[in-house]
Amino acid sequence: MAKRPEPMYGRPFYFQRWLDGHRGLLEPPVGNAQLQEESGLMVTVVGGPDQRTDFHDDPIEEFFHQIRGSMVLRIMEEEGRPPRGVRFYGGDRRCPHCGAVHPGRERPAGLRPRTRAAT
């Protein structure tokens, strides 16, 4: 039987199945994994808690979806001032503006954001 071509809209992605198979990658201190490394779209799953204290500002849009539990995303709105905490609860989705300065995480090779020390 001939193999069907990949549909233009992509195949279904079963996120819970992916989580179940990759839980070991999502452990502290900075537990994260890329969903589609071969894609031009960077999707990072972070298990937390994230213990890093540096900040980054990516030249790309970011999407946060808090599946369960809660977290505080520290955003540095102005250099030299203390960061502001933005609380996320289970089910919350937010898109900080491109360049929002917040704690960093490991990235795929080739994507290097600017980093700043925590204040």
Q: Which backbone phi and psi does 114 adopt, to 5 degrees?
A: -75, 140
Residue 97's pLDDT is: 65
Other beta carbons within 10 Å of 66: 17
- Per residue in 91-113, pLDDT (tens digit) is 888 877 666 666 655 444 444 44
pTM metric for this prediction: 0.59
Residue 111's pLDDT is: 42
Residue 50's pLDDT is: 66
Residue 8's pLDDT is: 77
Which parts of the chain register pLDDT below 50?
106-119
User: What are the residue boundaries of the structural domains of the chain, listed by start?
Assistant: 15-116
Residue 47's pLDDT is: 81
Q: What is the CATH number of domain 15-116?
A: 2.60.120.10
Residue 117's pLDDT is: 45
Long-range contact set of residues 66-71: C-beta below 8 Å, sequence gap at least 24: 66/90, 66/91, 66/92, 66/93, 67/91
Spatial neighbors of 41 by CB under 8 A, at least 6 apart, are none
CB 19 within 8 A of CB 40: no
Residue 17's pLDDT is: 93
> Tokens 């929002």 appear where?
100
